[in-house]
Amino acid sequence: MTTGAANDPAVALYKRLGFTRGEDFQPVPGLNMAHFELRRH
C-alpha cells in the first residue's frame, strides 16, 4: 500500500490497522510517497 507521505490521516489509519511503514520514495520529483506492508504471521 502507498499513500502520500504527508497524508497524516491515511498514515495513522494504516498504522492503526497494523501496517508497517517502509522507506518513503519519490516516483517523480516533489511527490513523496510512504510505503506500507501488512505482515501476517
pLDDT digits (tens, 9 = 90+) for 1-41: 999 999 999 999 999 999 999 999 999 999 999 999 998 86
Q: Kindly compute the dihedral angle of the four CA atoms of residues 36, 9, 16, 35, in this order, to the nearest 10 degrees.
A: 0
pTM higher than 0.85 for the full model? no
Domain boundaries, the chain: 2-38
pLDDT of residue 39: 85
pLDDT of residue 6: 97
36 contacts: CB under 8 Å, gap ≥ 6? 1, 2, 3, 14, 19, 20, 21, 22
Using CA atoms, how far apart are residues 25 and 40, in angstroms rounded to an integer? Answer: 24
Note whether 23 and 32 are within 8 A (CB). no
